[in-house]
Structure 1
Amino acid sequence: MKGPRVLVTGATGFVGEAIVFRLLLDKVFTPVAAVRGETRLSGLCSVVPFDLSEKVALPSLAGVQVVIHCAARVHVMNDAATDPLAQFRKINVEGTVRLARKAAESGVKRFMFISSIKVNGEGTLPGVPFKADDQPSPVDPYGISKKEAEDALRQVSRDTGMEVVIIRPPLVYGPGVKANFLSMMRWLDKGVPLPLGALNNRRSLVAIGNLVDLAVTCIAHPAAADQTFLVSDGEDLSTTQLLRRMAGALKVRAYLLPVPEAALRLGASLLGKRAMAQRLCGSLQVDIEKTCSILGWLPPVSVDRALQITASHYSAK
């Protein structure tokens, strides 16, 4: 491959690896995978060691035209750090800025940052989605660190002229997904009765194929320069709808009990699980009109097709 070189950080992660595989498939750009450890990408493309810690030297960016920065200290449910915000800032803000400044000094034209919808906030009213240009309102340390990293990157852009593109995804799912989405598939697969059959919330999700497609679109699209984009599948689902459609993709029956939302929230509160209740019962919608209009982009994979692909991968394991 002799196309423009694109360095992808966090290339052993769910999103970063998927972007590299897509670039290898397209054969338009030459991917360079920046990784912390062993990777399935060895032998398929250039692989360089990478760590956001200030104790580790950054790789050479000579000849790299675009950086897609996916590496981060990720959101965790039960963070054991004494000062989680300080730890998030060290990696997600300071590490990101260090990489961006080196990128600018090395002549990188465009720096793409995979951020998070948590920069906008934790939830929306039904029918009132987040928009890309809304005033940010992060709540938890992870969201705050991502917002501060975005601000710092915009300053680097003003200082150096390097283009910055920011993408804020909501929950990302697809083949190999872990955490809560994997737990949901396991519950459905085992036929576990779930008290989630009467929820009318609305949540935006994004299939890994759709997120990757947007990221690849932004590599060279002239209108993407210095923009912030939200991304989703373009169809919002209630938790109940998601469970039913995921069960259909898995070819199993969903045992969903119609427990009222108020009862669910009360029970979760008594058990100290308010945050979990918010994720299950609350709404979080994003408006991708700006993304679609500026870039001429539409999500190429439908929700049902993405769920089928995810389910097939899960069932084959």
Structure 2
Amino acid sequence: MEGTKKVVLLTGVSGFVGRALLDSLVGSASYQVRACARNIGVAEHPDVEYITMGDLGGDARWESLAQDVDVVVHAAARVHVMNDKSADPLAEFRKVNVDGTLNLARQAAASGVRRFVFISSIKVNGEFTLPGRPFTANDSPCPVDPYGISKLEAENGLLALSKSTGMEIVIIRPVLVYGPGVKANFRNMMAFLAKGVSIPLPLGSVNNKRSLVALDNLVDLIKTCMVHPAAANQIFLVSDGNDVSTTELLRKVAHSVGTKAVLVPFPVKLLMFMATLVGKKGVATRLFGSLQVDISKNHQLLGWLPPVTLDASLKKTANAYLESKFE
């Protein structure tokens, strides 16, 4: 160990969250980082030890990498896949998200690692919430898809391991994460709105509530959970603490990219019916349904509040997207 620095083993550094956490830790006077991924794929920092692991499944060997490590942050995962074509999706998720996670955790505990921070998913709680009833960290889990099930199984295995070994476990369940470099549907939304297309969208009266979390806020909570004594063996949900409807989000993102969303009122029930007819019920549920989380536990136990606002984070995300178009 270098001086009094804590040694952190960070997995998934080529991913959206792992890369951002790595960038935040680099140059810190408090941490020395060992960065691990299947394919690094990022600009290397001179003071970071990089490790390429070809397989993060149940047979990976971590003994030497976990030596002298104080904290493991496990951000690597087989992520949620839309329209998964695997013959047995749950088995594929279990190979990495359950077997791989517990394999790493067992070897970390055997090597004397004191704390293991696991980046899980709000899908462990479920897919939607009822009005005025946000998910809490104490709710009974209710995953409905293979990804969420695999994350819950990993959580249960980690908590059992903590009881038998004494290694502290911290579980973080993020909602949808956005920030500079975001991909998939969030980027597609920005791209559409940035064009300034004046086609009216029938989304002007969607009164749902969705929790989002800015990448900066998630990274800040992870860093808090790496060291805070009260985080040991706890589960935390995380969001920006400012829930928005789909209608509000579209308007905010359009403002952030310098355009205006043309949204007209239309009955949500009719939109749901039409989406179901064309086989898009899942998409409609995400657009029109609610998914809120209660993050009061984070403040009560850790004194943690989101350091960055939703509006500021959306603007930062939009600016990064607009700049990328000219690179």
**Backbone CA RMSD of aligned residues:** 1.2
Unaligned 5+ runs, structure 1: none
Aligned twin of 1:69: 74
1-side partners of 2:299 and 2:76: how far apart? 26
* Cα shift readout 1:198-243 (whole Å, capped 9, x = no counterpart): 1000000000000000000111100000000011001000000001
- Amino acid of the structure 2 residue aligned with 1:17: R
Q: 1:94 and 2:99 equivalent?
A: yes
- Amino acid of the structure 2 residue aligned with 1:229: F
Residues 41 and 222 of structure 1: is their aligned pair in 2 closer, same or farther, counting only changes over 3 Å?
farther
2-side partners of 1:55 and 1:203: how far apart? 38
2-side partners of 1:55 and 1:109: how far apart? 22
- Amino acid of the structure 2 residue aligned with 1:52: L
Aligned twin of 1:52: 56
Aligned twin of 2:130: 125
TM value normalised by structure 1: 0.97
Alignment of 1:131-142 (within 5 A): 131-142=136-147
* Cα shift readout 1:137-188 (whole Å, capped 9, x = no counterpart): 0001100000010000001101100000000000000000001101110111
TM value normalised by structure 2: 0.94
Shifted more, 111-120 versus 259-268: the winner is 259-268
Q: 1:227 and 2:234 equivalent?
A: yes
Alignment of 1:129-208 (within 5 A): 129-192=134-197, 193=199, 194-208=201-215
For the Cα contact (< 8 Å) 2:9–2:72, is it kept in 1?
yes
For the Cα contact (< 8 Å) 2:26–2:45, is it kept in 1?
no
Alignment of 1:32-43 (within 5 A): 32-43=34-45
Q: How many residues align?
A: 317
Which of the numbers 30, 33, 38 marks the counterpart of 1:31? Answer: 33
> Following TM superposition, by how much is the alpha carbon of 1:74 offset from its aligned partner in structure 2, in angstroms?
0.3
Shifted more, 59-68 versus 269-278: the winner is 59-68
Alignment of 1:236-275 (within 5 A): 236-275=243-282
1-side partners of 2:272 and 2:188: how far apart? 20
Q: 1:17 and 2:19 equivalent?
A: yes
For the Cα contact (< 8 Å) 2:9–2:71, is it kept in 1?
yes
For the Cα contact (< 8 Å) 2:174–2:238, is it kept in 1?
yes
1-side partners of 2:73 and 2:43: how far apart? 16
For the Cα contact (< 8 Å) 1:41–1:47, is it kept in 2?
no
2-side partners of 1:150 and 1:55: how far apart? 19
- Amino acid of the structure 2 residue aligned with 1:65: D
- Amino acid of the structure 2 residue aligned with 1:53: G
Q: 1:308 and 2:315 equivalent?
A: yes
* Cα shift readout 1:100-145 (whole Å, capped 9, x = no counterpart): 0000001100000000000000000121100001000000110000
> Following TM superposition, by how much is the alpha carbon of 1:57 offset from its aligned partner in structure 2, in angstroms?
3.2
- Amino acid of the structure 2 residue aligned with 1:168: R
Aligned twin of 2:300: 293
> Following TM superposition, by how much is the alpha carbon of 1:31 offset from its aligned partner in structure 2, in angstroms?
1.5
> Following TM superposition, by how much is the alpha carbon of 1:63 offset from its aligned partner in structure 2, in angstroms?
1.1
> Following TM superposition, by how much is the alpha carbon of 1:265 offset from its aligned partner in structure 2, in angstroms?
0.4
> Following TM superposition, by how much is the alpha carbon of 1:41 offset from its aligned partner in structure 2, in angstroms?
4.2
Shifted more, 47-56 versus 199-208: the winner is 47-56
User: Identity rate of aligned residues, in percent?
Assistant: 56
* Cα shift readout 1:72-107 (whole Å, capped 9, x = no counterpart): 000011101011011111110011000000000011
Classify the secondary structure of the residue corresponding to 2:50. Answer: strand
2-side partners of 1:54 and 1:134: how far apart? 29
Unaligned 5+ runs, structure 2: none
* Cα shift readout 1:1-33 (whole Å, capped 9, x = no counterpart): 641011110010000111111111543211211
- Amino acid of the structure 2 residue aligned with 1:175: P
* Cα shift readout 1:258-292 (whole Å, capped 9, x = no counterpart): 22211210111011000000000000000000111
